[in-house]
Amino acid sequence: MKLIEKSQYTVLKGNYAVAHGVRLARVEVISAYPITPQTTIAEKLADMTATGELKARFITVESEHSAISAVIASSLAGARSFTATASQGLALMHEMLHWATGARAPVVMVNVNRALAPSWNIWTEQTDSLAQRDTGWIQIYNESNQEVLDTTILAFKIAERVYLPTMVVLDAFILSHTSEPVEIYPQELVDEFLPPYEHPNAINFDDPRAIGAFARPEYYMEFRYNIQKAHEEALRVFKEETELFADMFGRKYDTVEEFMLDDADYVLVLAGSTATTAKYAVAQLRERGEKVGIMRIKLFRPFPVEDVRRVLSGRKKVAVIDRNVSFGHSGIFYMETRAAMYGAKDRPPIFGYVAGLGGRDVRPQDIIDIYEDMKRREEPENIIWKGVRV
Amino acid sequence: MSWAWVEVKPNENDLMHPGHLACQGCGATIAARLALKVLGRKAVFVIPASCWSVIDGAWPQHALQIPVFHTAFETAAIAATGIRAALDMKGKHDVHVVAWAGDGGTFDIGLQALSGAAERNENIIYITYDNEAYMNTGIQRSSSTPLGAWTTTTPDERPEDKPKKNMMEILAAHRVPYAATASIAYPDDFIRKLKKATQVKGFRFIHLFSPCPPGWKMASNLSVRSARLAVETKIFPLYEIEDGEVYTITHWPKGLPVEEYFKLQGRFKPVLKDPDRLAYIQRYVETQWEKLVRLHEASHGYLPEEARATIRSAI
Ligand SMILES: Cc1ncc(C[n+]2csc(CCOP(=O)(O)OP(=O)(O)O)c2C)c(N)n1
Ligand code: SF4
Ligand SMILES: [Mg+2]
């Protein structure tokens, strides 16, 4: 019997899929602080560590700032380390997100996308994670609970090959608290995929180093250059590891997912679980003979410029649907997509839509409306609000 | 003109090598040298933003002969906790993980993480070298700055008007197994306390008085003398608290007038010109000291002979 045949099929909420991913990755140090809709991740991992199902130290800190600080330190000291948060918690961590990258701590964090206050709002929106764009974290967005489990495992592999912290992102409630069938792989198979973690600078009393010491202008810039090079390497590593993952586990992921794109004149671009709704809408549009498909962005940092160009060049029109906004400009995936397409051959006009902020539903009909609106429009616009009452 | 070079060879047994970047007479360097004599090579220092972020040296060099983890200003206690957790998971229980933080990183911005680690009784040693201000950023007040002192944010026209925060009481309220004050002017006392700390499990705290010549506006040869006077004037008593309950004064001071200590330092110039304030501070010091003596008495059931001389009012 092949190892993969020992998998168990079960029904899991997204947050529990995360916890099983963390367990299968044999994480050694966990620190997390409760925040809706992340809380059940922390609770599940507390259970798993209490029963011994997962042999790890769970540090019950007094804030997210301390949660991330703890796992950066434990990761640098040589233990595989994990935290999870959302929204306000992620914003509170901001200083340490830069620290994790600068110190080259391959921590993995799950962020459950939730809108930022005020007004208090616990529902899904991508602005929390996207606002951390320039902290140097690898960021991977997900569409289903299976993908969440798989990506949690993949994240450790990628992070630890390039020594960059990695954020796995899922939507509040739509994934975090919704049950879906999930395949849980046997431990032995995950062990084959993910070797034990080591850090080259971990504590060594024979060669006592100062980690994170101040660097004068004659050295600092090279550290930053190395981080950029690591991100470029991460793009290659992402491709390699998702291929290997497909061979071993039978599920293939890529930097971007292409849906009904073969002959598509029109492309909808988006990330996260809204893609499932969009796929349903696009299937309906296809039945009406519309030549439309979807490019779902999975890898946000490093940004897959080549893949985005390959997929979008030569199309008639593109609409980017953002569940986030960078005030004073536009949706963030839109901004990134446009920047990637600048200078590409046969660049289509790109239209920016902002929808579904603060958990407002994005329904199949909304997707169809956006598609028809884009088709009608002559001139691209940076920010077209969908579903706002003004 | 010719230069004469004197090569300074590090002492094999000294875990703090020459070439560090502190000012002349820096109490915080004396503090680290003494600490490492007790801790030995199997120790890790976790250093938040502070003068010590600079003192240890610029990449790729560093003066301490043990692993050092620099961390963000408010994270000394939690970063040390994270390292402890990793070492424990790897079965390395014989390493001392030491948070080495300034007063700002301890009394102010790092207090939340410190409280968390203390309350959870994390198995780390937390040492705060207290120079009574934010020195790294150029002498701004912290909540450790003493009554009457000048800093750049409490200028001569409006000197510090609140007493120093009582960190030891905060730690005692957390019921940590061991908390002690110490001073670089009393190395034997400090070394004994740190040794004792290394033999205890759980959260251990040392509040180490550590003069800063430029920050205190005094000559660099006065660090040890000023630290000694802080103790002998009862401004900075030497004592320990076990399990948040048992108080033991470890040195009975001479009880010199506070001016003796203030006179050495330019930062107290405004107080020295203000007899009312000076008298107020003297009274404040006396009442604080008496409270401490009572706690010692309550813990041990009696007072040693030398204690009586230190109390002004009749017992
Ligand atoms: C979040 C944050 N705020 C402010 C600073 C700037 N800063 C660096 S060191 C320091 C003061 C440190 O004071 P203290 O802890 O007493 O140590 P000392 O410099 O006196 O040794 C400040 C304000 C910082 N590094 N990080
Ligand atoms: S400013 Fe003060 S504490 Fe800082 S290095 Fe100089 S003497 Fe030491
Ligand atoms: Mg200070």
The mean pLDDT of A204-217, rounded to a whole number, is 95
Is residue A354 exposed (0-12), middle (13-18) or buried (19+ Cβ within 10 Å)? Answer: buried
| Within-domain flag for B20 | no
Looking at residue B5, its pLDDT comes to 62
Looking at residue B315, its pLDDT comes to 42
Q: Do A29 and B82 touch (CB under 8 A)?
A: yes
| Within-domain flag for B6 | no
Q: Do B66 and A205 touch (CB under 8 A)?
A: yes
| Within-domain flag for B18 | no
| Site to substitute for ligand 2 among B23, B144, B145, B224, most atoms within 8 A of C-beta | B23
DSSP per position, B171-233: HHHTT-SEEEEEETT-HHHHHHHHHHHHTS-S-EEEEEE---HHHHT--GGGHHHHHHHHHHT
Q: For the domain that residue B152 is a member of, what is the CATH number?
A: 3.40.50.970
Looking at residue B109, its pLDDT comes to 98
| Within-domain flag for B17 | no
pLDDT band of residue A201 (cuts 50, 70, 90) is confident
- What is the distance in angstroms between the Cα of B51 and the nearest Cα belonging to chain A? 11
Residue with tokens 């884009």: A374
Say yes or no to pLDDT of A343 above 50: yes
CA B71 – ligand 1 centroid, Å: 11
Q: What is the pTM of this model?
A: 0.97
Residues framing ligand 1 (Cβ under 6 A): B 49-52, 73, 102-105, 131, 134-137, 142
Question: What φ, ψ does residue A258 adopt, rounded to 5°?
Answer: -105, 125
Looking at residue A179, its pLDDT comes to 98
Nearest to B192 by CA among B261, B257, B240, B232: B240
Distance, in Å, from the CA atom of A19 to the CA atom of A12, rounded to the nearest integer, reads 10
Domain ranges of chain A: 11-191+211-249, 256-385
Q: State which fold the A256-385 domain adopts.
A: Rossmann fold (3.40.50)
**What total number of domains does chain B contain?**
1
Nearest CA to ligand 2 atom 5: B22
Q: Do B115 and A62 touch (CB under 8 A)?
A: yes
B81 vs A contacts (CB less than 8 Å): 59, 70, 73
For A151-193, what is each residue's pLDDT tens digit?
999 999 999 999 999 999 999 999 999 999 999 999 999 999 9
Residues in chain A whose Cβ is within 8 Å of chain B: 28-29, 31, 55-57, 59-63, 65-66, 69-79, 81, 95-96, 99, 203-205, 208-216, 219
Which tokens sit at A367? 């997707």
In our burial notation (b when 16+ CB lie closer than 10 A, e otherwise), range B121-149 reads: ebbbbbbbbbbbbbbbeebbbbbbbbbbb
Question: What φ, ψ does residue A308 adopt, rounded to 5°?
Answer: -65, -40
**B47 - beta bridge partners?**
B70
For A298-324, what is each residue's pLDDT tens digit?
999 999 999 999 999 999 999 999 999
| Within-domain flag for B113 | yes
Q: Do A73 and B44 touch (CB under 8 A)?
A: no
Which tokens sit at A250? 């039978």
Looking at residue B1, its pLDDT comes to 46
Looking at residue B4, its pLDDT comes to 62
The mean pLDDT of A352-376, rounded to a whole number, is 98
The mean pLDDT of A106-129, rounded to a whole number, is 98
The mean pLDDT of A267-281, rounded to a whole number, is 98
What residue ranges of chain B have pLDDT lower than 70? 1-8, 313-315
The mean pLDDT of A231-241, rounded to a whole number, is 98
Q: Which CATH number fits domain A11-191+211-249: 3.40.50.970, 3.40.1280.30, 3.30.360.10, 2.60.40.10?
A: 3.40.50.970
- CA torsion sign for B92, B93, B94, B97 is positive
Mean pLDDT, chain A, whole residue set: 97
Distance, in Å, from the CA atom of A39 to the CA atom of A31, rounded to the nearest integer, reads 12
Nearest CA to ligand 1 atom 2: B73
Query: Which residues fall within 8 angstroms of residue B199, CB to CB, at 6 or more apart?
Result: none
B263 three-state secondary structure: coil
| Within-domain flag for B11 | no
ipTM exceeding cut-off 0.90 for this assembly: yes
Ligand nearest to the CA of B226: 2
Distance, in Å, from the CA atom of A284 to the CA atom of A300, rounded to the nearest integer, reads 28
Instruction: Provide the domain limits for residue B208.
Output: 27-312
Looking at residue B309, its pLDDT comes to 83
| Within-domain flag for B162 | yes
| Within-domain flag for B48 | yes
Contact between B78 and B116 (Cβ < 8 Å): yes
Q: Which of B39, B81, B100 to mutate to test the interface with A (most CBs of A within 10 A)?
A: B81
DSSP per position, A236-296: HHHHHHHHHHHHHHS----SEEEES-TT-SEEEEE-TTHHHHHHHHHHHHHHTT--EEEEE
For A51-103, what is each residue's pLDDT tens digit?
999 999 999 999 999 999 999 999 999 999 999 999 999 999 999 999 999 99
Q: Do A61 and B83 touch (CB under 8 A)?
A: no
B95 vs A contacts (CB less than 8 Å): 203
Task: Give the number of other Cβ atoms within 10 Å of residue B291's Cβ.
Answer: 13
